[in-house]
Amino acid sequence: MLRLANPLVVIWAILLVLLSATIAASFVLSGPVGLVVSLSIAAIKSAMIYWRYMHLNEETPLNRIAALAAGLWLLILLGFLGVDYWTRALV
């Protein structure tokens, strides 16, 4: 049956499964582990949306970089904010 289903619908089904997973995980996990898991699931969902729904699978490597560079760049801000907040109390 999966062979006949539209891949876009299959992706949708997986996205809903991942949504259930993240809700379920929130009952069981907490703290940093919980955060890592929920953000990872969100990242996987986004990757699927980008890959299939946003056509990255059909695009040139250059366009893939164009699509994803900002997400990576955000990590710089997050990273150094983290460094400041985590180490402020140390000095």
Partner 1 sequence: MSDARPVTDPFTDPLQQHRAAMMGMYVFLGSEIMLFGGLFCVAAAVRLAHAPEIVHASRALHFGIGGLNTAILLTSSLFVALGVESANGGRAKITSRWLVGAAALGLAFLMMKAYEYRMEFTEGLLPIEGVHSRYADDVQHLFMNLYLIATGLHAVHLSIGILLLIALSFRLAFGSIKLPERAIVLVTAGLYWHLVDVIWVFLYPVFYLAR
Partner 2 sequence: MTDVADPKLEEANVGRVGSTETVAQRVSYLRAGHSLKSWLLTTDHKRIGVLYTLSITFFFFIGAAAAALIRLDLLTPAGDLMTNEGYNRAFTVHGVVMVWFFLIPSIPNTFGNFLIPLMIGAKDLAFPKLNLLSWYIYMLAGLFTVFVLIAGGVDTGWTFYTPLSTMYANGNVILAASAVFIVGFSSILTGLNFIVTVHTLRCPGMTWGRLPLFVWSIYATSLILVLATPVLAITLVLISLERLFGLGIFNPAIGGDPLLFQHLFWFYSHPAVYIMVLPALGVVSELVAAGAHKPIFGYQFVAGSSIAIAALGFFVWGHHMFVSGQSLYASAAFSFLSIAVAIPSGVKVYNWTATLFKGHISLDPPFLFAMTFIGLFVFGGLTGLMLAMLAIDVHVHDTYFVIAHFHYIMVGGTISAFFGALHYWWPKIVGRMYSLAWGRVTAIFFFIGFNLTFFPQFLLGYLGMPRRYHVYPPEFQVLNVISTGGAAVLGVAYVMPLIYLIYSMCYGKPAPNDPWNATGLEWTTPSPPPKHNFEALPVVDRPPYDYEIEMRDEHV
Query: What is the smallest separation between the CB atom of 73 and partner 2, expressed in angstroms?
Result: 5
55 three-class SS:
coil
CA dihedral for 79, 77, 37, 48, sign (positive or negative): negative
Pick one of partner 2, partner 1, none as the site partner of residue 83 (Cβ within 5 to 8 A by kind).
partner 2
Closest CA to 44 of 27, 25, 63: 25
Which of 1, 2, 31, 61 touches partner 1 (CB under 8 A)? 31
Closest CA to 45 of 11, 10, 6: 11
CB 71 within 8 A of CB 34: no
Count CB-CB contacts under 10 A for residue 45: 19
Which of 4, 60, 61, 87 touches partner 1 (CB under 8 A)? 60
Q: Does residue 51 touch partner 1 according to CB under 8 A?
A: no
Give residues in contact with partner 1 (CB under 8 A): 6, 8-9, 11-12, 15-16, 19, 22-23, 25-26, 29-31, 34-35, 38-39, 41-42, 45-46, 49-50, 52-55, 59-60, 62-63, 66-67, 69-71, 73-74, 77-78, 81-82, 85-86
